[in-house]
Structures are given as C-alpha cells and as structure tokens.
Amino acid sequence: MYSIDLNGKNGVIIGVANDRSIAWGIASILAQAGARLALTYQNDRVKDRVTKLADTLDGAITMPCDATDDSQVEEVFRQVEENFGEISFLVHSIAFANREDLTGRFSDTSREGFRIALEVSAYTLLPLVRHAAPLMPGGGSVVTMTFNASQRVYPGYNIMGTAKAALEHEVRQLAAEHGGQNIRVNAISAGPLDTLSARGIGGFQDMKRQHSATAPLGRNISMEEVAKTALFLCSDLSSGITGSIIPVDAGYHIMAV
C-alpha cells in the first residue's frame, strides 16, 4: 500500500495570503506529510497573518515576495538555498487582475489592465521556475493553479481567462524544457472555491451554483480536494506526469450542458 511521505523534502509555496487561500490549503497538507516549507507573502499588509500561519508548521520559514520584482524573486531563492540547500517542489498560486477588468465588456479591457493580469498571473511562473530549477539537482515538481475559463467563457472572469490560457501553455513549454532535468511541471484546474480573490469575480455565487448543478458528482469541490491533488503532484507517486492540466472540479469540465 502506498502512502505519501515527504519527510526530508523541502519546498517553496508562492502566494499564501490567509487561511482560506489555496496556497495555504496546499501548504498545510504538504506540511502534514512531513515537508519543510518556505512560504512567501506579497507585502507587509499580510505579513503578520502569514507569519502566524507559518508558526503552526514545523520548521517553516517566511519571506516577502512580490513576484513581479526580479530582485525579490532572486532574494527568495537565495534565502531558500541558504536555509534548505535543495528543494523538491515549487507551488505557484498567484493571480491578479484589476477589478474594473473583471466587470463589463471584455473588449473594454485596458492595455495596462491586460499587461498586469498577464504579468502577475502567467509570466511570474517563468522567473520562479528559472530560480527554482538549479535547487532541484535530483529533479522535482512544479505545480501551478489554473481554471476552466482558460478554455471556456465565464462571464465576469474576462481577462483572467486569457491569463490562465497563457499559464497553461507555459506549463507545457516548461515541462518540455525541464524534462531532461527530471523536473515535472503541471497545473491543477480547480472548480470555484471561496477564496479572497474569488470575491472579486462578478457572479461568483452563480458560478458555484451552476457548477454544483451541472457537475457529475452533483456538488462543488473542497479546498482539501485541491490540496490532496497538489500533494500527489509534489510526490513521487506522480513521477510519470508532466505537462498536464489536472481537473479537480467534480467532473464539471466534461459536461456540455
């Protein structure tokens, strides 16, 4: 019988904001499996909140990281190398779009709003992997978070759907590029979850009701289900999986109506 034991494994979780964030759900279950973690937070506004969460995990460290700032990204991995030496996984769980670009007409998205959404939600994966890969000499796993709006139109999701489509293509590109180093790159396409960022999506509650009514399992998903999938992808049990988008949405993605 297989079980997942991450004792002796180290990893970096990018994007913890509070105890309801997907990044924290993933961090919690990875820590329960024995992994030692470095958690990053965006700025001082959430520093105390994230630090208190990290204090509940054995051996966890925290550090600031605005992933759009190359110098901060470089400093994070300098500190990670100093504290951990090597890492086995990286979890990228950050996304952002201006509120005004998540309402109204998609064609009214501003040039600056388009740039911000794509830079934060998609581009940031590239420098993070670039710095993480040298700390994975024996191979490792990269996991990022996407959503079905990369392939379908969700009213109110607007520019974020475009950003998620870009992110999914990056997953395939990075998987091909780093496969020779035995570094796997995958994404979890989660159904709607009650996170802080979800509150900025117009019609989010309607989206949840539609998912529950349409999904073959007849319900929405839980944070734990997403976290358990991340645990699988960060472990050796998924050693043959890379470049994949793994749906965790109670089967919603297979339905036409």
Asked if pLDDT for residue 37 goes beyond 90, the answer is yes
Per-residue pLDDT tens over the stretch 159-214:
999 999 999 999 999 999 999 999 999 999 998 887 656 555 656 677 788 888 99
Q: What is the pLDDT of residue 257?
A: 77
For residues 12-16, average pLDDT: 96
pLDDT value of residue 1: 45
pLDDT for res 203: 63
Alpha-carbon distance of 26 to 224, in angstroms, equals: 8
Task: Yes or no: say if 152 and 131 are a contact pair by the CB < 8 Å rule.
Answer: no
- Assigned token pair, 227: 């976290």
Taking the C-alpha atoms of residue 13 and residue 38, their distance in angstroms, rounded to an integer, is 6
Tens of pLDDT along 56-80? 999 999 999 999 999 999 999 999 9
pLDDT in tens, 114-157: 999 999 999 999 999 999 999 999 999 999 999 999 999 988 88
pLDDT for the residue 196: 59
Q: Which residues contact 29 (CB under 8 A, 6 or more apart)?
A: 224, 227, 228, 230, 231
DSSP string, the chain: ------TT-EEEEE---STTSHHHHHHHHHHHTT-EEEEEESSHHHHHHHHHHHTTSTT-EEEE--TT-HHHHHHHHHHHHHHHS--SEEEE------GGGGSS-GGG--HHHHHHHHIIIIITHHHHHHHHGGG-TT-EEEEEEE-GGGTS--TTTTHHHHHHHHHHHHHHHHHHHHGGGTEEEEEEEE-----TGGGGSTTHHHHHHHHHHHSTTSS---HHHHHHHHHHHHSGGGTT--S-EEEESTTGGG---
Is 157 designated active site? yes
Q: Given 41, 154, 157, 252, which residue is catalytic?
A: 157
pLDDT of residue 199: 59
User: What is the C-alpha separation between 104 and 118, in angstroms, rounded?
Assistant: 19
Distance CA 183, CA 199 (A): 34
Q: Report, as an integer, the average pLDDT of 223-245.
A: 97
Taking only the tens place, the pLDDT of each residue in 84-105 is 999 999 999 999 999 999 888 9
Residue among 164, 208, 228, 252 flagged as catalytic: 164
1 half-sphere exposure, CB direction, 13 A CA radius: 1
Instruction: Specify whether 208 is catalytic.
Output: no
Residue, of 198 and 27, whose pLDDT is higher:
27
